[in-house]
């Protein structure tokens, strides 16, 4: 049985695809490559992919569009490769559901480190609890099924979460009614050391509020603690 993580690289640059494929294979990964969004979709249908590395600038359907469409049905961990000349690419990618970002040109070892960190977060999230039952966390009428990594609305509708959104929500639910700074949330939800002036947590919180708040402009579940960070204001019941 294949146990090495399976990585999908989506980039129209053949030289970069080949370089990353050789590098990641040498570091113990299985690798599939795709030139565009169409080939990415086929690869995801044909194999169990553990992580996607997706370029923004591609011919035809760009990476942002591909990311948005992917997130409608799939929460596979995703790292976007963004244009170094445009810092807004990072924010747009996170808004659409990317879990991490890396500007071009980049160091292959940094990409490797980010991939391993993202895969660790996914692998260590509890899938089942003792006895084979599924752990659920209920809050403000919502239910987070930790084992299946899915969120149910008060009406019973399934709401798709990206890996980053799931990790962030789980961090809040594990520390209810407690103020968490951005650095703490970065550490809890993203599994890496705080980066000075990193505003990605604000973006993730904004995305999460749009999915769970009745009025994201006046949040009642995830409250802003001015000058300190954020707090889950709801009670949490474990079942």
Q: Is residue 1 in a domain?
A: no
Beta bridge partners of 115: none
Rg (CA), the chain: 18
- Indicate the number of domains in the chain: 2
Residues 102 and 148 in one domain: no
Assess whether 42 and 107 both reside in one domain: yes
pLDDT band at 84 (very low <50, low <70, confident <90, very high): low
Instruction: Scan for tokens 């594990």, then name that residue.
Output: 174
Give domain status of residue 221, yes or no.
yes
Domain membership of residue 16 (yes or no) is yes
Please indicate, yes or no, whether residues 168 and 62 belong to a single structural domain of this protein: no
> Which of the listed ranges 76-85, 173-182, 191-200 does the model predict with the highest average pLDDT?
173-182
List, as own/partner pairs, every contact residues 203-207 make where C-beta atoms lie below 8 angstroms and the sequence separation is at least 24, other chains included. 203/91, 203/94, 203/95, 204/94, 204/164, 204/165, 204/168, 205/168, 205/230, 206/95, 207/94, 207/95, 207/97, 207/162, 207/165
Domain annotation covers residue 64: yes
Residue 129 has pLDDT above 50, yes or no: no
pLDDT tens-digit series, residues 42-54: 998 888 899 999 9
Average pLDDT taken over every residue of the chain: 84
d(CA 149, CA 122): 10
CATH number of the domain encompassing residue 57: 3.40.50.2300
One domain, residues 145 and 108: no
Tell me the pLDDT tens digit for each residue of 137-194.
999 999 998 877 889 999 999 998 887 888 899 989 988 999 998 888 877 775 543 4
Percentage of residues of the chain with pLDDT beyond 70: 87
97 and 204 housed in the same domain: no
Both tokens assigned to 67: 């990311």
57 plus 74 within the same structural domain: yes
The helix (H) or strand (E) run that includes residue 201 is: helix 200-212
pLDDT at 75 over 70: yes
The last residue of one of the domains, among 75, 103, 124, is 124
- 156 and 135, same structural domain? yes
Predicted confidence at residue 160, as pLDDT, reads 85
pTM: 0.58
In degrees and rounded to multiples of 5, residue 45 shows phi and psi of: -75, -35
Confidence of residue 41 (pLDDT cuts 50, 70, 90): very high
Residue 32 backbone dihedrals phi, psi, to 5 degrees? -120, 140
Q: Are residues 84 and 140 in the same domain?
A: no
The string of pLDDT tens digits covering residues 202-222 is 888 999 999 999 999 999 999
In a domain, 202, yes or no: yes
Do residue 153 and residue 225 come from a single domain? yes
| Contact present, 224 and 213 (Cβ < 8 Å) | no
User: Do residue 81 and residue 45 come from a single domain?
Assistant: yes
Q: Which domain holds residue 91?
A: 6-124
179 with 115, same domain? no
Q: Give the tokens for residue 207.
A: 């995305």
Do 135 and 161 fall into the same domain? yes
* pLDDT band at residue 128 using 50, 70 and 90 as cut-offs: very low
In this predicted structure, the answer to whether residue 71 has a pLDDT above a threshold of 60 is yes
H/E run at residue 104: strand 100-104
Nearest Cα to Cα of residue 182 among 198, 166, 170: 198
Last residue of a domain, one of 124, 154, 182: 124
- Using 50, 70 and 90 to split pLDDT, how confident is the model at 115? very high
Question: Which pLDDT does position 130 carry in this prediction?
Answer: 30
For residue 74, being part of any structural domain is answered with yes
Q: Is residue 43 part of a domain?
A: yes
CATH of the domain at 160: 1.10.10.10
Cβ atoms of 194 and 186 within 8 Å: the answer is yes
Which residue, 124, 149, 167, sits at the end of a domain?
A: 124
Q: Which of 128, 222, 69 is nearest to 78 (CA)?
A: 69
* Cβ–Cβ < 8 Å for 189, 104: no
């Amino acid at each position: 049985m294949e146990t090495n993580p399976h990585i999908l690289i989506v980039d129209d640059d053949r030289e970069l695809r080949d370089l990353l494929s050789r590098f990641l294979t040498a570091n113990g990964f299985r690798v599939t490559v795709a030139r565009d969004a169409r080939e990415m979709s086929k690869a995801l249908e044909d194999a169990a992919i553990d992580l996607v590395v997706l370029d923004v600038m591609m011919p035809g359907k760009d990476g942002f569009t591909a990311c948005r469409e992917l997130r409608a049905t799939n929460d596979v961990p995703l790292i976007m490769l963004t244009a170094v000349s445009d810092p807004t690419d990072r924010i747009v990618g996170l808004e659409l559901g990317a879990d991490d970002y890396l500007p071009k040109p980049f160091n292959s070892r940094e990409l490797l480190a980010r991939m391993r960190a993202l895969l660790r977060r996914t692998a260590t999230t509890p899938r089942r609890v003792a006895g084979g039952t599924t752990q659920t966390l209920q809050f403000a009428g919502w239910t987070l099924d930790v084992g299946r990594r899915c969120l149910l609305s008060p009406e019973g509708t399934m709401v798709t979460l990206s890996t980053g959104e799931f990790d962030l929500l789980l961090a809040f639910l594990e520390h209810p009614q407690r103020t968490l700074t951005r650095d703490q949330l970065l550490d809890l939800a993203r599994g890496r050391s705080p980066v000075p002036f990193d505003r990605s947590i604000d973006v993730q919180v904004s995305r999460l509020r749009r999915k769970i708040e009745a009025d994201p402009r006046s949040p009642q579940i995830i409250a802003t603690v001015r000058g300190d960070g954020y707090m889950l204001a709801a009670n949490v019941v474990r079942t």
